[in-house]
Amino acid sequence: MRNCLALFLVTTLLLTLLTVSHAYAMRADSSAYQEPTYDFLAKYLMSTKKRSCIRRGGSCDHRPSDCCFSSSCRCNLWGTNCRCQRMGLFQKWGK
């Protein structure tokens, strides 16, 4: 009885694996074979006028609006090592 049950289970398992493992044949005119076009993505990226800002502590290079809100690009005495830092008291008054 156990041998018959084991044989039945093995046969059922093999038949299930054979039916599931058949490869799905796609037609040649299917869209899966076509190269994807990214024209819409390129147009979308070109049309956006936004630029991300550099947060406080990040390095900057004195471009206008480079640092995020209430931050300004500050450099050392020689004009190197520029970082976005909190605006000074007089910078806030001037804007």
Indicate the average pLDDT of the chain. 76
Please give the pLDDT value at position 29. 58
pLDDT at 41 over 80: no
CA distance linking residue 71 with residue 52, whole number of Å = 14
Burial class (CB in 10 A: 0-12, 13-18, 19+), 20: exposed
**Amino acid code (one letter) for 92:** K
Helix (H) or strand (E) holding 59: none
Least confident of 41-45, 68-72, 79-83: 41-45
Least confident of 36-40, 55-59, 82-86: 36-40
With CA atoms as reference, report the closest residue to 85 among 56, 46, 63. Answer: 56
Mean pLDDT of 62-75: 83
| DSSP string across 8-41 | HHHHHHHHHHHHHSS--PPPTTSGGGSPPP-HHH
